[in-house]
């Protein structure tokens, strides 16, 4: 917890992994969940607001739609070096679209003008965008992510505990 507010200090990996699971728990397909996790970490690192993330997790079809939009941008970038213009009237979705694009593992430059997002992607060059030492997550978002992620875990059972995993329950050799 960070003194003076309700935010938690988390590693990048922790946040990305939890967000990936949370998206899966919300019902998003696996690949899109993975990309959402990366986007969420980038969004927070760049100082993005949490409200759009909460909205997306509340309506997972918004995450799938964003992933689809990014897929189309990447496809366009693969056939032409020109920046790709896409219009997103929803401000929350637009904020996440920008974070999704700048978080891709390739060199990107993204400009926003009104409802228009202009993205230049160099698919042949790796991303040069630095990652931060820590991410700050509000207690509310942290709890929401945790609750959604928990939907992906299988409830414990005796059979599972004794037969489904590795070593013995007690190992003194």
Give the shortest CB-138-to-other proteins separation in angstroms: 17
d(CA 23, CA 111) in angstroms, rounded, equals 27
32/93 with CB nearer other proteins: 32
Q: Determine how many CB atoms are found less than 10 A away from the CB of residue 68.
A: 10
Strand-pair category, 107-113 with 116-122 = antiparallel
Tell me the Cα Rg of the chain.
Answer: 19
41/95 with CB nearer other proteins: 41
Give the shortest CB-167-to-other proteins separation in angstroms: 4
6/91 with CB nearer other proteins: 6
Give the shortest CB-71-to-other proteins separation in angstroms: 4
Distance between terminal CA atoms of the chain? 41
Give the shortest CB-99-to-other proteins separation in angstroms: 16
Q: What does the DSSP assignment read for 67-122?
A: HHHHHHHHHHHHH--SPEEEE---HHHHHHHHHHHHTSSSEEEEEEETTEEEEEEE
78/116 with CB nearer other proteins: 78
CA 158 vs. chain centroid, Å, equals 34
Give the shortest CB-58-to-other proteins separation in angstroms: 18
65/118 with CB nearer other proteins: 65
Q: Which residues bind other proteins (CB under 8 A)?
A: 9-14, 29-32, 64, 67-68, 71-72, 74-75, 78-79, 104-106, 121, 123-127, 131, 133-134, 150-157, 159-161, 164-173
Residue 148: enclosing H or E segment and its boundaries? helix 139-150
């Amino acid at each position: 917890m960070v003194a003076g507010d309700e935010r938690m200090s988390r590693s990048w990996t922790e946040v990305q992994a939890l967000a990936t699971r949370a998206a899966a728990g919300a019902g998003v397909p696996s690949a899109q969940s993975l990309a959402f996790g990366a986007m969420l970490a980038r969004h927070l690192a760049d100082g993005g607001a949490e409200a759009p993330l909460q909205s997306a997790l509340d309506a997972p079809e918004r995450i799938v739609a964003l992933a689809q939009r990014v897929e189309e941008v990447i496809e366009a970038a693969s056939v032409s070096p020109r920046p790709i213009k896409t219009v997103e009237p929803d401000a929350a979705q637009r904020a996440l679209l920008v974070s999704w694009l700048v978080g891709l593992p390739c060199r990107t430059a993204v400009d926003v003008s009104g409802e228009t997002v202009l993205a230049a992607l160099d698919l042949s060059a790796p991303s040069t965008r630095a990652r931060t030492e820590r991410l700050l997550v509000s207690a509310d978002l942290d709890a929401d992510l945790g609750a959604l992620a928990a939907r992906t875990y299988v409830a414990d059972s005796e059979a599972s505990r004794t037969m489904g995993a590795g070593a013995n329950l007690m190992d003194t050799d």
